[in-house]
């Protein structure tokens, strides 16, 4: 069983960057979900989508059209076991492993309501970081991202996914 293509959805560009990077690396074609008409229905794909309130956007549509062999959520949260556990509960795709990548936060590219929603959710973390008299460079970077946006997209983050893809072929 091998993956034929990567299909993705991206609102502010982070998921798209990862999808393109991975496609280039694994020599797979990359299609935006809205422009995936050239792919035959039932094709075996890796689906990547941005996280919105814990849900991987577009995954339901992708599952209806394609055989989704793996799903990858891209969010602003730091990666870790807890993110993955929450994801696998909320975005169940039968027999498909779930991956998570940290994308970033681009407040200037989302509408005011969504920006407010995110600011509300991250308020506690922001306040806690701001209250510290001394912040480590990592904490300062986190605070800067929450306040002004920023990208965490990096090729190294793709290691686990690249390994998984290699095992499929």
Ligand X SMILES: Cc1cc2nc3c(=O)[nH]c(=O)nc-3n(C[C@H](O)[C@H](O)[C@H](O)COP(=O)(O)O)c2cc1C
Return residues touching ligand X (CB under 6 A): 10-16, 50-54, 74-77, 103-105, 110, 114, 117-118
If DSSP codes are grouped into helix, strand and coil, which group holds residue 105?
A: strand
End-to-end CA distance of the chain: 7
C-beta closer to ligand X: residue 29 or 114: 114
Smallest distance from ligand X to CB 89, Å: 13
Taking the mean position of all CA atoms in its chain, how far away is CA 69? 16
Task: Name residues whose C-beta falls within 8 Å of residue 137's C-beta, 6 or more positions apart in sequence.
Answer: none
CB of 40 to ligand X, least distance (A): 25
DSSP state of 79: P
Residue 134 tokens, joined = 């001394």
To the nearest whole angstrom, how small is the minimum distance from the Cβ of residue 169 to ligand X? 26
Contact in structure between 99 and 73 (CB atoms under 8 Å): yes
> Closer to ligand X at the Cβ: 82 or 168?
82
Residue 68 vs 74, nearer CB to ligand X: 74
Question: Using an 8 Å Cβ cutoff, are 6 and 48 in contact?
Answer: yes
Closest contact distance (angstroms) between CB of 127 and ligand X is 18
């Amino acid at each position: 069983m091998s993956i034929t293509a990567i299909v993705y959805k991206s609102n502010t560009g982070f998921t798209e960057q990862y999808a393109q990077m991975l496609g280039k690396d694994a020599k797979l074609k990359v299609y935006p979900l809205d422009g995936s008409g050239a792919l035959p229905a039932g094709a075996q794909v890796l689906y990547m989508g941005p996280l919105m309130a814990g849900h991987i956007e577009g995954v339901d549509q992708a599952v209806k059209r394609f055989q989704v062999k793996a799903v990858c959520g891209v969010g602003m949260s730091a990666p870790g076991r807890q993110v993955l556990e929450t994801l696998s509960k909320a975005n169940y795709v039968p027999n498909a492993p779930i991956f998570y990548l940290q994308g970033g936060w681009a407040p200037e590219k989302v509408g005011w309501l969504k920006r407010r929603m995110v600011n509300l959710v991250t308020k506690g973390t922001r306040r806690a970081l701001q209250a510290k008299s001394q912040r480590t460079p990592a904490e300062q970077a986190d605070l800067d991202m929450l306040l002004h946006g920023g990208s965490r997209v990096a090729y190294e983050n793709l290691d686990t996914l690249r390994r998984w893809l290699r095992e499929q072929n």
